[in-house]
Amino acid sequence: MQKLMPWFSSITVDNTLIQFKLDTGAEANVLPFQVFKSMVRKARRGKRTKLSLKHTETVLMAYGGARLKPEGMLILTCSTARAQAKLTFYVSKHSSVPILGREACEQLSLIKRVEVDTLNVNRLATKEDLLIQHPTVFDGLGEFDGEYHIHIDPNITPVIHGCRKIPLAILDRLKDTLDSLLQADVITRVTEPTSWVNSLVVTEKKDKNKLRVCLDPSDLNKAILRQHYSIPTTDEVLSKLAGKKIFSVLDEKDGYWQVKLDEASSLLCTHSQGWPHHKKQVDLRMAQFWPVRHTVSVRDGILFAGDRIIIPSVLRQEMLHQLHVAHQGMQRTKALARRHFYWPGMIRDIEQMVETYSACQQFQPRNQREPLISHDVPELPWLKLGADIFEIQGQSYLLIVDYFSKYPEVLNISDKTAHTVIRKMKSVFSRLGIPKEIVCDHVPFASQEMHSFATSWGIQLTHSSPGYAQSNGLAERNVKTVKQVIKKAQQTGIDPLLALLTLRNTPVTGMEYSPAQMLMGRVLRSTLPSSSSILQPAVPQNAHSVLQDLQKRQQQYYNRGTRRLPELSPGTTVYMETAQGWCPAVVTEERGEPRSYNIVASSGQHYRRNRRHLRRTPVCAQATSDADVVDEDPPDLSGMGTAESMDSQPSSTLNSTHTRSGRVVRPPERFKDFQMGQR
């Protein structure tokens, strides 16, 4: 403290004696805030001029670079035994000692500039002089003579580390750093496989623009056969530095860059830089692994993508077979594969395998429902009819229902031949009129006799697709209703004909008119008591528009969850839905009816099917087996079994079947309205 006393001086400031530190290196005068408050209190007690601070934008820079914002500034009169001056002071809360700067010290005659005679001596060489005198010493990084060889224990298994994740903020700087090392020949690109791959450690220096890049050879160090040397202690080093005056700084970490490794040792220090920024910068063989580039690693010699094993191409078919052992279907097989394996195009391979596996295709679920195509509401009653045949307790019935009025006609038939059905239809049409169109199925309505009758009477027959009763939904729904009415009437002892009369008099759902009213314009008299006004004939009003609204509403409800299936063209290979499952077939023709196709099965039989009963075979469809998951041969439809259909068309060989004796086999007369096929 005695040595510091000469640098302190007591100065009178505004009649207050304050001890200042004389700082010849300071460019401003600083007054602590506590000292300023003390001066303010004394001024109040002495009733002197009030002291106040003025705002200032000046920022003080302390030793070490700290920036201090003063509370304000003021001008005070200062005096010593030798001089007096008005000085500017900055008041700061960060200062505890009053400071008087160099200029103020000179004004108050506290210090004096002294001129000193100098002695000319030989000046030291500058950095530029040294560069000129020794040009080769300072050119490049420098390199020691000879090459160093790293000795490795051959019994230790090499380790390959994946590239560590690099923060995005330093990715560009890392690339620049590696490029500079590459340009300085410190590192070089490795284009051949290596047994050892080390991780790269990247840290930021205090200077944020620079990075420290080094290897993490923790596994490699375990395999290195070390050469042992005696390392000098600190005391030994310091003893050698005694009397030395000039020192230089050596960056020891960069000093290793000056030691060149031989070829074998340099490969031990290989590190992975990571994936490029763009997929196009990757080799085509590796580009397919671009989506999993951040998760690829090696464990026990096995390549992983995250926790999933990367399967090489030679083992993929075997793994597909293992995945498909339980035949769980496409989605569950995909889920199982995603848990265990990875290879580019794995999902596509699974889809192809499941779609082309015959055993899986045979037991696939039905196609999704397609949007409803409703029949147009006829303009008038009895123009468009639906017809169907049903049985109750061994008795056959013919149902005819009007698409406009929903009026059902139910007739007993002795058999299902076309002759009997035509005779019953004629009796109905003679009473109610001849329709323009009849929607029906194929037996017996597809017989030649039925077509001749329809042509002669001016009726158009529209056949529904076999197995797709929905296309004649009105007739099918009325069959169900009439069956329930007749069965319940028989069960309760009520006359079924009387029950059918009540059905015809009941208003259609969603309307105020009954089928009898919409067909005949009147309510039919029944056993129910009714007034004469109800039985008066009256033409239904707006029946057509109401039916259209009901149909649109029904269509909206049905179309929820439906999906339109793509159309099929002739020659397309498909799977046809049968009672035994799905069997292969080929589309031969698209019919005029909506979503209806003619197809030929593998047995050679011809069928007509709705689009919902057909599933397109994948483009690369193949017949597969348990032994061969993928077969490169084109689809083979032979020997795959047959499907039975009411719509099958006999081939030419069936029409000329002969017995052993040569007699032509003719079907019995009672089967003349049926189309026979092989079973």
- What pLDDT does 1 receive? 40
The predicted model gives 438-464 an average pLDDT of 91
434: pLDDT strictly greater than 80: yes
Per-residue pLDDT band for 621 (boundaries 50, 70, 90) equals very low
Per-residue pLDDT band for 519 (boundaries 50, 70, 90) equals very high
673: pLDDT strictly greater than 90: no
Distances (CA, A) of 211 to 23, 185, 201, 274, 485: 40, 18, 10, 17, 91
First to last CA, the chain: 122
Q: What is the DSSP letter of 511?
A: S
Please give the structure tokens belonging to residue 388: 């169907």
Per-residue pLDDT band for 623 (boundaries 50, 70, 90) equals very low
Per-residue pLDDT band for 629 (boundaries 50, 70, 90) equals very low
Q: Which residues pair with 606 in a beta bridge?
A: 600, 649
Contact 90, 60 (CB under 8 A): yes
469: pLDDT strictly greater than 90: no
- What pLDDT does 120 receive? 56
* 209 or 605: which leads in pLDDT: 605
Q: What is the DSSP letter of 238?
A: H
- What pLDDT does 124 receive? 57
Contact 379, 474 (CB under 8 A): no
Which of 18, 21, 45, 22 is CA-nearest to residue 34?
18
628: pLDDT strictly greater than 60: no
pTM (predicted TM-score):
0.45
Contact 357, 584 (CB under 8 A): no
Topology annotation, domain 384-558: Nucleotidyltransferase; domain 5 (3.30.420)
The predicted model gives 499-526 an average pLDDT of 91
Contact 85, 78 (CB under 8 A): yes
How does DSSP assign 374-419, residue by residue? PPPPPSSTTSEEEEEEEEETTEEEEEEEETTT--EEEEEES---HH
The predicted model gives 477-503 an average pLDDT of 92
23: pLDDT strictly greater than 50: yes
Backbone angles phi, psi at 214, to 5 degrees: -155, 170
SS3 category, 548: helix
* 472 or 309: which leads in pLDDT: 309
Report pLDDT digits (tens) over 360-377.
Answer: 666 777 777 788 888 888
Whole-number Å distance between alpha carbons of 648 and 608: 7
- What pLDDT does 674 receive? 56
397: pLDDT strictly greater than 80: yes
* 108 or 413: which leads in pLDDT: 413
Whole-number Å distance between alpha carbons of 25 and 63: 10
630: pLDDT strictly greater than 80: no
114: pLDDT strictly greater than 80: no
Whole-number Å distance between alpha carbons of 453 and 468: 25
Of 52-61, 112-121, 555-564, 669-678, give the lowest mean pLDDT range.
669-678
The predicted model gives 587-615 an average pLDDT of 87
Q: How many CB atoms lie within 10 A of CB 551?
A: 15
- What pLDDT does 497 receive? 92
* 654 or 473: which leads in pLDDT: 473
- What pLDDT does 130 receive? 74
* 618 or 443: which leads in pLDDT: 443
Please give the structure tokens belonging to residue 249: 């700084």
Please give the structure tokens belonging to residue 157: 């298994």
User: Which range is most confident: 326-335, 480-489, 662-671?
Assistant: 480-489
Of 117-121, 229-233, 351-355, give the lowest mean pLDDT range.
117-121
* 10 or 579: which leads in pLDDT: 10
Whole-number Å distance between alpha carbons of 596 and 574: 14
Which of 559, 570, 661 is CA-nearest to residue 614?
570
Which of 571, 590, 570, 591 is CA-nearest to residue 637?
571
The predicted model gives 396-403 an average pLDDT of 94
5-107: CATH superfamily: Acid Proteases (2.40.70.10)
User: Which range is most confident: 142-146, 240-244, 515-519?
Assistant: 515-519
Query: How far is C-alpha 73 from the chain's CA centre?
Result: 66
Of 123-127, 340-344, 633-637, give the lowest mean pLDDT range.
633-637
Report pLDDT digits (tens) over 283-326.
Answer: 778 888 888 887 888 888 889 999 999 999 999 999 998 998 88
* 227 or 347: which leads in pLDDT: 347
396: pLDDT strictly greater than 90: yes
- What pLDDT does 339 receive? 93
Contact 589, 570 (CB under 8 A): yes
Task: List the chain domain ranges.
Answer: 5-107, 280-356, 384-558, 573-671
Contact 333, 323 (CB under 8 A): yes
- 10 Å CB burial of residue 39 (0-12, 13-18, 19+) is buried
586: pLDDT strictly greater than 60: yes
**Sign, Cα dihedral of 542, 545, 546, 547:** positive
246: pLDDT strictly greater than 80: no
Whole-number Å distance between alpha carbons of 472 and 474: 6
101: pLDDT strictly greater than 80: yes
- 10 Å CB burial of residue 275 (0-12, 13-18, 19+) is middle
SS3 category, 515: helix
User: Which range is most confident: 24-28, 254-258, 381-385, 468-472?
Assistant: 381-385
Length of the chain: 679
Report pLDDT digits (tens) over 68-95.
Answer: 888 899 888 898 888 888 889 999 888 7
- What pLDDT does 466 receive? 79
- Dihedral angle over CA of 454, 455, 457, 461, nearest 10: 40
Topology annotation, domain 280-356: Endonuclease III; domain 1 (1.10.340)
Which of 1, 18, 24, 25 is CA-nearest to residue 91?
18
418: pLDDT strictly greater than 70: yes
646: pLDDT strictly greater than 60: no
SS3 category, 252: helix
Domains 5-107 and 384-558 share a fold: no
653: pLDDT strictly greater than 50: no
The predicted model gives 417-435 an average pLDDT of 94
Please give the structure tokens belonging to residue 196: 């050892």
192: pLDDT strictly greater than 70: yes
Whole-number Å distance between alpha carbons of 25 and 259: 47
Residue found by looking up tokens 């169907």 in the block: 388
- What pLDDT does 274 receive? 64
Of 104-118, 302-316, 336-350, 390-404, give the lowest mean pLDDT range.
104-118
Which of 186, 155, 154, 212 is CA-nearest to residue 266?
186
* 132 or 139: which leads in pLDDT: 132
548: pLDDT strictly greater than 50: yes
Distances (CA, A) of 387 to 416, 442, 479: 13, 11, 9
Report the mean per-residue pLDDT for the chain. 81
Q: Which residues pair with 61 in a beta bridge?
A: 67
- What pLDDT does 626 receive? 37
Q: What percent of the chain has pLDDT over 90?
A: 24
